Amino acid sequence: VQLQAFGGGLVQAGGSLRLSCAASGLTFSSYTMGWFRQAPGKEREFVATISWSGDRTYYADSVKGRFTISRDNAKNTVYLQMNGLKPEDTAVYYCAADHRPTSSVRSGRVDYWGKGTQVTVSS
Q: What is the pLDDT of residue 95?
A: 97
**Radius of gyration of the chain, Cα coordinates, nearest whole angstrom:** 13
Specify the higher pLDDT residue, 104 or 68.
68
Q: What is the pLDDT of residues 54-89, one digit of tens each?
A: 999 999 999 999 999 999 999 999 999 999 999 999
Q: What is the pLDDT of residues 20-51, one digit of tens each?
A: 999 999 999 999 999 999 999 999 999 999 99
Q: What mean pLDDT comes out for the span 94-119?
A: 94
